Amino acid sequence: MKKPLSKFDSIIETLPQEQQELVDSFFMDLSTKVILVPSEKHKLFADFQNIIIYYLKAGLTLDAALNRIDVANLGGFYSRMPSRWFALDYSAKIYPLSMGHGQMSVFRLSVYLKKDVVPEVLQMALTFTIKRFPQFATTLKKGFFWHYLDSTKAHYAINEETARPFLPIRVSLTGSKTFKVLYFNNRVSVELFHALTDGTGGMIFLKTLMHEYFRLLGIESTLDATTFDVNVAPDFDENANEFAKAPKTKAGGFMSKKSLQLSGKLTRIKPCQVIHFKLDSQKLIEVAKLNNTTVTGYIITQILIANKYAIEANSGDVSIQVPVNMRKFWPSKTISNFTMYFALRLALKDITTTKEIIEEVNKQLVEGSSKEKMMAMMYSVRQMVRNIRFIPLFIKTPIAKIAYGFIGERSYTNTLSNLGIVKFPAELEEHIESLDFILGTAVLNRASCTLVSFNNTTTLSISKITLDSSFEERLLSLLSDDQIPLTIEGSDVYENVKYLSVRKKTKNSTRKN
């Protein structure tokens, strides 16, 4: 019996003979460029078929469509066997060592478009972009002394978001990916295992992906310094482990005092909710200036006050971990991790009003994030990694898990990571609404905060692992008191499913009645 024609074949059959030949020759060309296993090759071919169908339906001529998705955009990525591997940079080494079942360091960057995402185009954009980020096209593997990233040539698929953010990235299987590209309505998100990159590297990936997405939609734009040309060979400096070059200084310590945690009960699902405060950037800057501080200083102050409201304790310290992008002290092209941290600490009893604590916050911000302190910490990381490099991984792993438990989240109450102002080329900005940035699964810190600004919107995101809403409610009232215009977006409470099912049952029974 004759096999029924696929959707693609039936559309192509309606085209004139010469165009059909053009399509055949395109796929012949594609076939020579892809040496994946048949199942993966089939998926890649399906992506090309889907985008051709999309283009034709959108009224593009076949010539123009094939021109946009020219197989030259694949480079030699799929025509070569995987042979490269990447040692983890020194600050990334802790992430695979400290992960557990259902718990790994992941972060998420999202861009909100003015129109809904076209999945066929996003898929092709990822296919063309991935070759430019060889350290992302990898699988995490175990060496005798350290983990490393092993090149994986496979079909990198986008997925529609159907569940909560930060579903575990399964990195254990053969050819497992260490990142995800997701879409939901008008949002494109990348969730990245922290061992791959930091926020800066992640944002370069997202920007490059979006540049390619818009090019495939026919919107050309100029490249800026933080968007890669997908058809240029990767620079070796982009994988540089800058920690290895840290100059000798006085070593900075990692050990820190235990801090208070927000008092809400920990949820089983992590994060149980994501909240975005979308703030008016101009007004936020004005308010920060009025308080003689920066935007980071102002938000930290508000977080400290909100923390006090959400903690039930008589004494102790509240501490906020603030990541510092080392690229501002040490110019680097690396998209590997190149971030250090410092903790801003205040006694619970000293947290009073914005006016009273702002000076102390400013002082600690300047001192804590100074070049001297950060370089000292960078040197400490280098020394620590070098000192333990010959200890086998099976000994290092349990020790790292215990040590991370002690000097990890116990020493701070929450995190504020500020990615700063993100710019897109002018041609793209008109198609983009906003951005957000979320930190993944914390273990103890009930509310992890992030900031990112785009155009006149600064998004303050909170990922939560408690149902207690006092922290964000207090933060909201503080921001509102300062007359900062804001809108609130976010997710359902994913933990509270029992309540939701009860509510649904109640609704149904009411209808029956």
Partner 1 sequence: MKMLNTYPSAKKQKIQREKINEIVRWPFIIGVFVLPIVNFFTGAPVWSPVAIWSMWIVWSMLFSPQLVEYNRISNVVRLVTNVAILLVLIEFFIAPGWAVEVVSIVGFSGLIVLSILFFSNLHKQRQNLFPMLLFIIVTIVLAVTGIIIWREQSHWAIITLGTTGVAFLVTTAIVLRKDLLNEFAKRFHTR
Using CB under 8 A, list all residues that contact partner 1: 37, 82-83, 85, 87, 96, 99-102, 139-148, 150, 152, 161-165, 171-175, 184-185, 187, 241, 244, 268-269, 274-276, 389-390, 469, 472-473, 476, 487-494, 496-497, 500-501
CB of 163 to partner 1, least distance (A): 6
CB of 88 to partner 1, least distance (A): 9
SS3 151: strand
Q: Give the Cα separation of 263 and 310 in Å (integer).
A: 6
CB-wise, 350 or 433, nearer to partner 1? Answer: 433
Q: Which residues contact 31 (CB under 8 A, 6 or more apart)?
A: none
Q: Give the Cα separation of 373 and 329 in Å (integer).
A: 11
CB-wise, 282 or 501, nearer to partner 1? Answer: 501
Q: Give the Cα separation of 131 and 124 in Å (integer).
A: 12
CB of 417 to partner 1, least distance (A): 20
CB-wise, 120 or 472, nearer to partner 1? Answer: 472
CB of 387 to partner 1, least distance (A): 12
Q: How far is CA 70 from the centre of its chain?
A: 29
Q: Give the Cα separation of 177 and 199 in Å (integer).
A: 18
**What number of other Cβ atoms are within 10 A of residue 7's Cβ?**
10
CB-wise, 125 or 475, nearer to partner 1? Answer: 475
CB-wise, 58 or 395, nearer to partner 1? Answer: 395
**Strands 486-490 and 457-464: what pairing?**
unpaired
CB of 3 to partner 1, least distance (A): 27
CB of 426 to partner 1, least distance (A): 26
CB of 99 to partner 1, least distance (A): 6
User: Each residue of 215-240: b (16+ CB within 10 Å) or e?
Assistant: bbbeeebeeeeebbebeeeeeeebbb
Q: What is the DSSP letter of 266?
A: B
Closest CA to 444 of 258, 261, 255, 271: 261
SS3 240: coil
Token pair for residue 171? 């990195």
Burial class (CB in 10 A: 0-12, 13-18, 19+), 192: buried
Between the alpha carbon of residue 502 and those of residues 496, 505, 507, the distances in Å are: 10, 5, 9
CB of 254 to partner 1, least distance (A): 21
SS3 128: helix
CB-wise, 213 or 494, nearer to partner 1? Answer: 494
One-letter identity of residue 437: F
CB-wise, 203 or 476, nearer to partner 1? Answer: 476
CB-wise, 139 or 418, nearer to partner 1? Answer: 139
CB of 437 to partner 1, least distance (A): 14
Token pair for residue 371? 């070049």
CB-wise, 234 or 490, nearer to partner 1? Answer: 490
Q: Give the Cα separation of 302 and 228 in Å (integer).
A: 36
Q: How far is CA 390 from the centre of its chain?
A: 32
CB-wise, 195 or 320, nearer to partner 1? Answer: 195
Q: Give phi and psi for 278, each to the nearest 5.
A: -95, 105
CB of 258 to partner 1, least distance (A): 25
